[in-house]
Amino acid sequence: MKVNYYKFDLPFRYPFTISRGTKTHQPTLIVELEHFGIKGYGEAPAIKYYDITVEKMIENLESKKTFVEKFAFTEPERYWHYLHHLFPNNPFLVCALDIAAWDLYGKMKGKPLYKLWGLDISKNPMTDYTIGIDTIEKMVQKMKEKPWPIYKVKVGTENDIEMVKALRQNTDAILRVDANAGWTTEQALEKIPLLKELGVELVEQPLAKDNWEGMKILYEKSALPLFADESCALENEVEKCAGYFHGINIKLTKCSGITPARRMIKKARELTMQVMIGCMNETTIGTAAIAQLLPLLDHVDMDGPLLLAEDVATGITYGNGQIIYSDLPGLGIGFTR
């Protein structure tokens, strides 16, 4: 097997603001695994909050490149185990390699992954479109520019309720909110009932990721389902969230790829929790990986390519929130850079 990689710093359509700060560009690493002339692609965007840069991913990959390449590849699950032990402190890099391995595997088998897994895509959830934090006027304007059936609204400011109220006055679409760990327990207790009145369907990560005491209180009292994102990064954290959150928001990058994500979905279902997959502003490569898992999800947030002004691949398209597949094997993508 041969490994190759490409790094990009892709501009957003609009500067993207959440409760932790603003970004104008998204750095991302694309890896390419080549085996018997077939190429598979994977992606991991860098996220400051998790302290992993593209440079760190490249440095780690370069330091063990020969090991990555010498593995006798037959199927992705065994490869993931090998990579997980090779890079124990870099789930992002393992994610990029794992997605590439699945793309490669699907191409070797000549089928899209969801077909290989026997999944029925006819009842897939629709993806939301994210409205970042801005002035109320601009948030309403961004929403109006993108008519969509579901919006995810970033909150965690002084005027969250006014923001959502203004959006609600201008749309009948489903609204969900993501506080990105930006509220205190008291703020959450005050805001959640008001958001419920505004027809919000769910709340993502209301409190700081380690505030389990606060989450216990919210879980007992919340009028809306609460989803763990920052509190549920790794596979072994799913169980911890039961009794504190109603659902989890899996990100392929933080959990280290498709392989552990499939196990996390299974675990969450055993614990009767809802499942969502979110993106981290991935291009079409990372989101095409999410698309393969859609039939297993309650909700999905995979609008990365819609928020970015540039892409590096073709493949899935967005028909008013409904994902349309290319039907090519693997992830169904074509790398265009």
Tokens of 147: 């008519």
Report the residue number, 103 or 229, with the smaller CB distance to Mg ion: 229
The residue among 39, 36, 9 whose CA lies nearest residue 331 is 39
CB of 18 to Mg ion, least distance (A): 8
Number of residues that bind Mg ion (CB under 5 A): 3
Residue with Cβ nearer Mg ion (241 or 312): 241
Query: What is the helix (H) or strand (E) element at residue 314, kind and residue range?
Result: strand 313-314
Q: Judge contact between 220 and 241, C-beta under 8 A.
A: no
152-191 positions binding Mg ion, by CB under 5 A: 178
| Residue 154 near residue 134, CB atoms below 8 Å | no
Cβ 224 vs Cβ 196: under 8 Å: yes
Beta-strand pair 313-314/226-228: unpaired
In the complex, least distance from residue 252 CB atom to Mg ion, rounded to whole angstroms: 13
Question: Closest separation between CB of residue 42 and Mg ion, Å?
Answer: 22
CB of 206 to Mg ion, least distance (A): 11
Q: Which stretch binds Mg ion (CB under 5 A): 44-52, 168-176, 225-233, 255-263?
A: 225-233
- Look-up of token digits 């809802």: 274
Our CB check for Mg ion shows the closer of 229 and 311 to be 229
Question: Which C-beta is closer to Mg ion: that of 156 or that of 329?
Answer: 156
Question: For residues 178 and 303, which CB has a smaller minimum distance to Mg ion in the complex?
Answer: 178
What Rg value do the Cα atoms of the chain yield, rounded? 19
Beta strands 334-335; 200-204: pairing state? unpaired
Q: Copy the structure tokens of residue 22.
A: 């603003």
Q: How far is the CB of 278 from Mg ion (least distance, A)?
A: 6
Nearer to Mg ion, 98 or 229 (CB): 229
Handedness of CA 324, 126, 44, 112 (dihedral sign): negative
- For position 229 contacting Mg ion by CB under 5 A, the verdict is yes
Identify the residue whose tokens are 């699945």.
Answer: 102
- As measured in angstroms, the least distance from the Cβ of 180 to Mg ion is 6
Minimum CB separation of residue 282 from Mg ion in Å reads 14
- Span interacting with Mg ion, options 73-81, 87-95, 113-121, 224-232, rule CB under 5 A: 224-232
Burial 17-47 (b: 16+ CB within 10 A, else e): ebbeeebebbbbbbbbbebeeebbbbbbbbb
Give the per-residue contact string, 88-127, with Mg ion (x = CB under 5 A; - = no): ----------------------------------------
CB of 179 to Mg ion, least distance (A): 9
Q: Which residue is nearest to Mg ion (CB)?
A: 229
Segment contacting Mg ion by CB under 5 A, of 142-150, 227-235, 280-288, 308-316: 227-235
Measure the CA–CA gap between 190 and 72, rounded to whole angstroms: 56
235 binds Mg ion (CB under 5 A): no
Distance from C-alpha of 252 to C-alpha of 235, rounded to nearest angstrom: 11
Closest CB to Mg ion among residues 160, 178:
178
Token pair of 156, please?
């965690």
Positions 184 through 223 that interact with Mg ion (CB under 5 A): 204
Q: Does 282 bind Mg ion (CB under 5 A)?
A: no
Which residue number, 75 or 210, has a Cβ lying nearer to Mg ion?
210
Nearer to Mg ion, 103 or 178 (CB): 178
Residue 218 carries which DSSP code?
H
Token digits of residue 178? 């993501």
Tally the residues of the chain: 337
Q: Are 154 and 132 in contact (CB under 8 A)?
A: yes
Per the listing, tokens 């993806």 go with 127
Instruction: Give the residues lining the site for Mg ion (CB under 5 A).
Output: 178, 204, 229
